[in-house]
């Protein structure tokens, strides 16, 4: 296993009020309500005039999520964003999320123009898994099936046999284990550990982490639960083991939203990026949502539980894409063709899995 240091952002400044990741990220300044309404109307008009579709993630600004839904686009988890972008009729996609999401869309739809509000919106998992080091890791373990999380660069996906997202990783690794395959997993160590524990698969792991989810604290969550004994605990699997261990539901962003909508509890403690609360509030207005704790008295980082790179997406960025053509995603064709194999394998598998749930058989596809 590569003992690679987890990307270190030194996340708190001298005042303790912010962190260097947030200071470094180009987060749009807050807008007055009238300005927001004006920018939103301009963005909607431009999307329509240019025949473009907005594909947004649940962690981006609530106004962007609303704009996507109001203009015929989508708000979704990373798997559904990929599917929606691929199937959309529009020839221009505006992807509001982080870079790997835009790249995945471009890989699936090379003929479409894929634009992002800010091309510098990245992800600590992607940054912590450089393609050359990852290729060396794979070369050292040729006997293993290479499974990478969606939160990676196109070049890393090009080196993989499979790409997975948090909504299908368990099923795909179970499938590979049933075929007797040993796995090389990258880059999220918490998601990897969770899947390994659930499936019992032989998994060699890269040592990456999400700077947002890594900050949720098991001890403080335990204390909070005692104050809310009836609350359901919802956890994204990029969180540490001590947090996942207390979960009633572990899953992708869409699974956590479904749990709030369908759950019988009145209160929900949510351990994921707090951008998700916007959609949860809309879909389950009567429920009480409580953010899971990210810091205790001993913590050095008072994380705000919001991804600095997701926060770089703003209404002005959408307008700039559409007016000036900024933020266009390009993926070199040889890389795209290789990455496409690992992404399509996942999409074929999940489509077959869906069909099999109705028909009652287990899919047997995509063996590398």
208 bridge partner residues: 188
Q: Which of residues 324-363 bind ligand SF4 (CB under 6 A)?
A: none
* Number of residues forming the site for ligand 13P (CB under 6 A): 10
Q: How many residues bind ligand SF4 (CB under 6 A)?
A: 13
Which of 108, 125, 244, 311 touches ligand SF4 by CB under 6 A?
125
**Contact in structure between 25 and 11 (CB atoms under 8 Å):** no
Q: Closest distance between ligand 13P and the C-beta of residue 131, in Å?
A: 19
Phi, psi of 258 (to 5 degrees): -60, -40
Pick the piece of the chain touching ligand SF4 (CB under 6 A) from 88-96, 102-110, 204-212, 221-229. Answer: 204-212
Question: Which residues fall within 8 angstroms of residue 177, CB to CB, at 6 or more apart?
Answer: 183, 199, 200, 201, 202
In whole angstroms, give the CA distance from residue 79 to residue 100: 12
* 165 touches ligand 13P (CB under 6 A): yes
Determine the interface stretch with ligand SF4 among 118-126, 133-141, 194-202, 295-303 (rule: CB under 6 A): 118-126
Taking the least distance from each CB to ligand SF4, the nearer of 171 and 238 is 238
Residues in the chain: 368
Cβ proximity to ligand SF4, 92 vs 122, nearer residue: 122
Q: Which of 58, 194, 268, 309 binds ligand SF4 (CB under 6 A)?
A: 309
HSE-up of 91 (CA within 13 Å, CB side)? 4
> Contacts with ligand 13P in 100-159 (CB under 6 A)?
151
- x-marked contacts with ligand 13P along 220-249 as a string, rule CB under 6 A: ------------------x-----------
Does the protein bind ligand SF4 through residue 212 (CB under 6 A)? yes
Binder of residue 166, out of ligand 13P, ligand SF4, none (CB less than 5 to 8 A by kind): ligand 13P
Cα–Cα distance between 264 and 78 in angstroms, integer? 27
By the rule CB under 6 A, 98 interacts with ligand SF4? yes
- Report the largest interatomic distance among the alpha carbons of the chain, rounded to a whole angstrom: 59
Pick from 181, 198, 191: which is nearest to 145 by CA? 181
Task: Kindly tell me which residue out of 53, 78, 92, 335 binds ligand 13P, with binding defined by CB under 6 A.
Answer: 78
Q: What is the Cα–Cα distance from 275 to 280, expressed in whole angstroms?
A: 9
CB 149 within 8 A of CB 187: yes
Q: Which of 141, 158, 257 is nearest to 202 (CA)?
A: 141
Q: Are the CB atoms for 244 and 190 separated by under 8 Å? A: yes
Closest CA to 49 of 92, 89, 101: 92
Q: Which member of 25, 123, 221, 292 binds ligand SF4 (CB under 6 A)?
A: 123
Among 273, 276, 303, 336, the residue binding ligand SF4 under the rule CB under 6 A is: 273
Residue window 247-286: x/- pattern of binding to ligand 13P, with contact defined by CB under 6 A: -----xx---------------------------------
Q: Which does 124 bind (CB under 5 to 8 A by kind): ligand 13P, ligand SF4, none?
A: ligand SF4
**Residue carrying the six token digits 């929900």:** 268
Preceding amide of 276 cis, omega within 30: no
Closest by CA position to 79, among listed 158, 5, 151: 151
Q: Which is nearer to ligand SF4, 24 or 361 (CB)?
A: 24
CB contact at 8 A, 183 and 96: no
The only residue of 124, 167, 199, 254 in contact with ligand SF4, by rule CB under 6 A: 124
| Residue pair 311/22 in contact by the 8 Å Cβ criterion | yes
* Stretch binding ligand 13P (CB under 6 A), from 3-11, 71-79, 137-145, 189-197: 71-79
| Residue 204 structure tokens | 């060699």
Residues binding ligand SF4 (CB under 6 A): 98, 123-125, 151, 210-212, 238, 273, 307, 309-310
Residues binding ligand 13P (CB under 6 A): 77-79, 151, 165-166, 210, 238, 252-253
């Amino acid at each position: 296993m590569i003992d690679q240091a987890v990307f270190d952002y030194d996340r708190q400044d001298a005042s303790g009020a912010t962190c260097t990741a947030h200071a470094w990220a180009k987060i749009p300044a807050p807008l007055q309500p009238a300005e927001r309404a004006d920018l939103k109307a301009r963005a909607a008009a431009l999307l329509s005039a240019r025949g473009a579709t907005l594909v947004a993630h649940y962690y981006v600004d609530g106004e962007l999520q609303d704009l996507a839904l109001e203009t015929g686009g989508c708000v979704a988890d990373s798997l559904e964003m990929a599917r929606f972008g691929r199937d959309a009729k529009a020839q221009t996609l505006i992807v509001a999320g982080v870079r790997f999401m835009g790249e995945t869309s471009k890989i699936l739809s090379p003929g479409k123009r894929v634009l992002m509000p800010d091309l510098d919106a990245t992800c600590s998992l992607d940054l912590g898994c450089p393609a050359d080091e990852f290729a060396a890791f794979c070369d050292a373990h040729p006997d293993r099936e290479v499974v990478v999380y969606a939160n990676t660069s196109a070049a890393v996906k090009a080196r993989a046999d499979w790409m997975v997202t948090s909504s299908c990783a368990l099923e795909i690794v179970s499938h590979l284990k049933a075929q007797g395959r040993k796995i090389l997993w990258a880059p999220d160590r918490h998601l990897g550990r969770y899947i390994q524990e659930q499936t019992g698969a032989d998994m060699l792991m890269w040592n990456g982490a999400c700077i947002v989810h890594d900050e949720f604290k098991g001890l403080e969550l335990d204390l909070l639960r005692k104050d809310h004994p009836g609350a359901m605990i919802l956890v994204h699997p990029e969180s540490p083991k001590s947090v996942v261990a207390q979960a009633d539901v572990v899953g992708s962003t869409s699974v956590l939203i479904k749990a709030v909508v369908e759950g019988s509890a009145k209160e929900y403690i949510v351990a994921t990026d707090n951008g998700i609360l916007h959609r949860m509030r809309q879909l389950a207005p009567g429920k009480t949502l409580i953010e899971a704790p990210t810091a205790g008295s001993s913590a050095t980082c008072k994380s705000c539980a919001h991804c600095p790179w997701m926060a770089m997406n703003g209404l002005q960025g959408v307008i700039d894409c559409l007016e000036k053509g900024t933020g266009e995603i390009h993926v070199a064709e040889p890389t795209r063709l290789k990455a496409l194999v690992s992404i399509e394998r996942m999409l074929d598998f999940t489509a077959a899995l869906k069909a099999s749930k109705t028909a009652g058989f287990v899919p047997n596809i995509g063996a590398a």
